[in-house]
Amino acid sequence: MNTLMHTTRGLLSLGLYVMNTLVCCTPLFLMTLLKLIVPYTPWRKMCNRILTSIAGTWIRINNFNQEVFSRTRLTTRGTENLDPKEWYLVLSNHQSWVDILVLQNIFLGKIPMLKFFLKKELIWVPVLGLAWWALDFPFMKRYSKKFLKKHPQLRGKDIDITRKACRRFRTIPVSIMNFVEGTRFTSQKHRRQSSPYTHLLKSKAGGISFVLAAMGDQLNTILDVTIVYPGKIGSFWDFVCGKIPDIIIDIRSMPIDPSLVGNYTLDEAFRTRFQTWLNRLWAEKDARMDAMLTASADNPNSSRGSTEHLRRVA
């Protein structure tokens, strides 16, 4: 009976996610078309506000979906002094596709909408490419090491191209999201990497340094996000079926040190310094995850005082 109940709940939740996406995409694409055909700056700014509002509505309906069907208890720490008018770089570990829904949930209305740096080629992805462009997701141009060996005169041009693409964010607050491991954590990947951490894969410094090189003078604060799943890490299907009872999210705010902005590709001393900083951050996160999991196992009800159920988060 429980299996049938969970499966039914999952199918209803999944159907609502699909319906919500289709319904919200209709006005999103219409507004995108109007934004395209009228090249007038004040008009496009108004369109951007409407597009962001549509995306916010999509997230709110997703949050309602989670409240009704998933009923996961979120314990969040560190969201008290956030500001939707600030500029943020959000760094997080990555264990499940559920992470994205959880981050959208807890940060809605507290910081600007989360946006990801995307490869320039992804703008041609059907439907999604247009949606990403419409919502001002920054597209970056990255040259491979092999390509740069053949065209050394283009070194540093990728950062210049991305920096120009991000000029719109000088007047519009933004939150740039980066999953530092570059992929979801699994025990197989952990073994294959011989990761020095217990709960994390090795960190990848290049992507973060690229963002800071392109936008370092615009971003004000780093949000170091640690996501923990007490017990087994759940899949998206587990989440929609209501099989993930608890998720703990710890958020630390820190200013962006000017020394973190530099040329990661060409400056070897800067590259070493940046990697040292990130490895130290990742070691601290691994220890924090260990403490969070231990505290949750020792006393499952100890976090209830700071817990926000999905109903209250939404």
User: What is the average pLDDT across 38-58?
Assistant: 89
pTM of the entire structure?
0.85
Rounded CA separation 291/73 (Å):
19
Rounded CA separation 81/274 (Å):
27
Can you tell me which residue has the tokens 């587990």? 238
Please tell us whether the domain made up of 72-313 is placed in CATH 3.40.1130.
yes
What Rg, from alpha-carbon coordinates, does the chain have? 20
**pLDDT given at position 310:** 41
Q: Both tokens of residue 21?
A: 């996406």
Rounded CA separation 109/171 (Å):
18
User: What is the average pLDDT across 287-314?
Assistant: 64
**pLDDT given at position 158:** 65
Give me the percent of the chain exceeding a pLDDT of 90.
50
pLDDT in tens, 237-265: 999 999 999 999 999 999 999 899 988 87
Q: Are 106 and 249 in contact (CB under 8 A)?
A: yes
